[in-house]
Amino acid sequence: MHWQISLIQLALAQGVLAATFSWLRKLDVWWILIQLLFPLALVLVIALQLPSWIFLFAFVFTLLLYWSTFRTQVPFYPSGPDVWHAVADCLPAHPARVVDIGSGLGGLSLSLAATRPDCHIVGVELAPMPWLVSWLRARFVDAASGRRPEFLLMDYEQLNFADFDLVFAYLSPTAMTPLWSKAKAEMRPGAVLLSYEFIIPDMVPDMQKMINSRQVMLYGWRF
């Protein structure tokens, strides 16, 4: 019997095989989805016969957006206004130093700086393109109406958490255990670590708050 397998069927089979191996390796769900869909998406894109420069542009864009996601296991996770307001409610009444690790396009840092101009707000981002966007956004902030946040292009592991009263993280499940180890070693008594959506394994939070629009928790640990 002669079997004829189409290119799409072959791509789908390859995606299923890659996703299965990813599942066996206990990778995160988003990695499994990428492995499943990428071969099929590649076949469909080739069928469109797009000009070659588009692929170069897509590669450079993806590189600048995600940068070292393969190492950090932290993809681009943007938050939203409901999260920003919830974090603002957690700020102490006195002037404080606050850092958003993995600040993305800078929405949280800009919002906090406008809400609490008495606080020093720092956003830290490892990927060049989101950092550049956040830095440019900060340039347009009217210094008279609020204090500009500071945006740093660096790995948060290079920071000393002892310099901050509040640390906010929206990372990934894989990053939570190393984050806790760093926080436990460096954060001062009275400082607060906040994590949106992802909890630290085996560590009961001192506070948790439901973000209404998404039905997702904001967790907090006080040192």
Q: How far apart are the first and last CA of the chain?
A: 69
pLDDT value, residue 64 = 58
What distance in Å separates the CA atoms of residue 58 and residue 71, rounded to the nearest whole number? 20
What are the residue ranges spanned by the domains of the chain? Answer: 7-72, 81-222
Burial of residue 78 (number of CB atoms within 10 Å: 0-12, 13-18, 19+): exposed
pTM as predicted: 0.71
Of residues 199 and 128, the one with the higher pLDDT is: 199
Please check the confidence at residue 58 and state whether its pLDDT lies above 80.
no
DSSP 102: S
pLDDT value, residue 161 = 97
Q: What are phi and psi of 121, to 5 degrees?
A: -105, 130
Tell me how far CA of residue 75 lies from CA of 21, 82, 100, 182, 209, in angstroms: 20, 21, 15, 20, 23
CATH, range 81-222 = 3.40.50.150
